[in-house]
Every structure is written in structure tokens, then in C-alpha cells.
Amino acid sequence: MKTQKTILLAILFAIFISESFAQVPLDNIFNSIVGPNSEPIVYNTINMNSFDLISSNIQFSEKNNSQKLVVLPFKLFNDQPNGLIRNLKLNIAQKNGISTFGIGIGLDNSSPFSKRGDDIFNKVDIVSKRVQSEDESDLEYQQYEASYGLYLDKEVANYYENLLKNSFQLTFGFNISYFSIIGGDKVDLDGNGLIDNEKSIESFNYSLGASYTLNSSAGISASLHIVDKLGSAEEGQERVPYLGGSFTFAKRILVLDSNYKTSKDYFKSLFVPSIIFGFTFEYQEAQKNFDFAKDGIIRQSVYTPFLDFKINPKNQFRLGIPIQKLTSQNRDLQSLGPFIQWGFSIANKGK
């Protein structure tokens, strides 16, 4: 029932977003590496690696359902501010009753508004459209105009391909996560003599992420995380500091439409109908106060091979099979929990 409710909310959310931005083209350039889903399990809710105007992902799995939204509000402005301000990000996420709010700043030198974007633009060399010659029929000139239009489309696409090639992105983020009950009367429902809802802040999260995009079909991403977390909201809990990080690699392995280079989606957003294979490794280890670690787990390693199915800009999803190794103070556990992740993003305000 709970899952059905979550799915319904997710669909309503998607419809709301789609309708709200119906006039905006989906400039989904490349979200597998630099997207908010590059850390699918341990750091999914606090990852802010997205540089799109809006990016969301909704994940369904046996144990963990999460919804998140990353917004870059300054991308809504016609006058684009410079550098760090342009890429100021806000994160809102929810996972298993824990609500997370974050703020981040980033650098993205694949942006057409970056200095690198200006430099690449200044190297663009385009032949102008010629006038109709006296001995040329209208039909011949129309044919020339059509081929010239295609030439321009390719030049725009080339510009964005060059922007992506060997580009990097940096993100520094801070997130704060709250337990589901953040106020009201203090209660001891389980009668153990300890207030159940003594604490409201579940964790403070600091992260530094870096992504490197080789080209539009491959990239890598790495991040460092410092998390200060409570195991529960109950009275007497002490914060557990964690150190961790992640590494992600993704590569396009199959193009679903070999004629994609003449498609409107490619010219508009470099979208390539394709299947992308990727792999993520996430790691987290408690540094002290082991007795207060959530579920007693002091070390967590997650290996997640995944496949991104990019059918069209509005229809993209990811299938992943995380293999988790959990270490508590006295035992090791291994688990397997496939998930499906649905993503939606808009790179920029359309007009």
C-alpha cells in the first residue's frame, strides 16, 4: 500500500513537472555521470552533482524508496550570473521518512556561459548563407537552403560536443537531514524510559564531488563525504562521524538509433537513444562512537553495476543491482537489492 502511494505520488509529481515546463525543451545533455544519480545507494539523497536547471530522480527498491529534486534557481534568470552563483544548487530529498535539505555551489566548465564556453564559441567558424544567384532556380536555391540549415544544426551540435569533451565539474555541498518528527510533545512510546523523539536533526553532510567527462559517451565521477549522523531520534544517542566516498564510471555501449545525428533531439540536446553501462562504488566508515552507529553498521561498501536506458528525452530509466557489504562490530552481512530509478531533468530554461 505504501509503495503504491509512493508510486502514485511520483507519477503526479512527474505530471506536475512535465506540465509546468511543457514549453521548455528537455535539454538533457548527459546526466549519467554528472547527474544526481551518480551515487545510487549510500549518498543518493545528498548527491548534488547535477548542473541542470531541474533534475529529479525517484528510486524504487525492496527496502529503500527515495525521491529527490535538485534545482539551480539562477538558471531561471535571463541574465546569467557568473561562476559559483550561477551554479548555486538546492536539494530536497526524502528517503524512508528522513527529509534532506541541501545547498551547494559548483563549477562547470562545460557550460556555454563559462570562460571555456566563450573560448570554444570564439573558435566556431561558419560560412554564411549565400544569396541566390541569377542562373539558379527557386527549387535549386531551396535545396541549397535545406542543406545549409542542416550544416548549421551540425555546427551547433559540434559546439556542444566540444564543450563536453574533456570537461570537468566540481560541487561542494552541505545537506541537513531531519527525522520524520521534528517537534511536538516528547513521548516514550516503547516505555524504555527514553524519549523517542528527543532529536530532530538526523545528520549533517558535507561533500566534495568531481566529475570528468571524456566526451558525450563516457565519463567518470568521484566524491568525498563527511557525515555526522545519529542512529535514531531517541534520547541518549550520540553522533557518529563517518568518512566515505564514491567512484562512478559510465560508458555508452549501444546506440538504439544509428541515425541519431540527424534527429531533432540530438540537435537540441545531444540526446542519443542508447544504453549506457556503468559501475559505482560507494564506501562509508564510522570513525568513533561505534555503539551508536545506525543498525550497528560501522562500515558499508556498495558495488552497483547499472544500465541506463535512454529511450527518448522524456523516457529514461536506470536499472541497478547493488551488492552491499555491511560490517557491524561483530559480524559481516552481504545483501543484494535491485532497484529501478526514474530520472527527469531540464538543463535550462528554454527561452
Residues that bind other proteins (CB under 8 A): 25, 27, 78-80, 112-113, 118, 121-122, 124-132, 149, 152-153, 155-157, 159, 267-268, 348-351
User: Closest distance between other proteins and the C-beta of residue 255, in Å?
Assistant: 21
Query: Cβ distance 341 to 307 under 8 Å?
Result: no
Task: State which residue, 71 or 120, has the beta carbon closest to other proteins.
Answer: 120
Task: State which residue, 298 or 347, has the beta carbon closest to other proteins.
Answer: 347
Q: Does the CA dihedral 322-329-99-42 come out positive or negative?
A: negative
Task: State which residue, 108 or 282, has the beta carbon closest to other proteins.
Answer: 108
Task: State which residue, 12 or 124, has the beta carbon closest to other proteins.
Answer: 124
User: Closest distance between other proteins and the C-beta of residue 125, in Å?
Assistant: 8
Cβ count near 88 (within 10 Å): 16
User: Closest distance between other proteins and the C-beta of residue 143, in Å?
Assistant: 16
Task: State which residue, 62 or 155, has the beta carbon closest to other proteins.
Answer: 155
Nearest to 232 by CA among 278, 194, 286, 262: 194
Long-range CB pairs of 254-262 (<8 Å, 24+ gap) are 256/310, 256/311, 261/154, 261/157, 262/150
Q: Say how far apart CA 304 and CA 299 lie, in whole Å.
A: 16
Q: What is the dihedral of CA 143, 148, 151, 152, to 10 degrees?
A: -140
Nearest to 208 by CA among 35, 82, 75, 46: 46
User: Closest distance between other proteins and the C-beta of residue 132, in Å?
Assistant: 7
User: Closest distance between other proteins and the C-beta of residue 112, in Å?
Assistant: 5
Query: Cβ distance 346 to 35 under 8 Å?
Result: no
Task: State which residue, 116 or 268, has the beta carbon closest to other proteins.
Answer: 268
Q: Say how far apart CA 101 and CA 176 lie, in whole Å.
A: 5
Task: State which residue, 154 or 251, has the beta carbon closest to other proteins.
Answer: 154
User: Closest distance between other proteins and the C-beta of residue 160, in Å?
Assistant: 9
User: Closest distance between other proteins and the C-beta of residue 121, in Å?
Assistant: 5
Question: β-strand 167-178 against 297-312: which pairing, if any?
Answer: unpaired
Backbone angles phi, psi at 45, to 5 degrees: -75, -20
Query: Cβ distance 260 to 272 under 8 Å?
Result: yes
User: Closest distance between other proteins and the C-beta of residue 88, in Å?
Assistant: 17
Task: State which residue, 125 or 190, has the beta carbon closest to other proteins.
Answer: 125
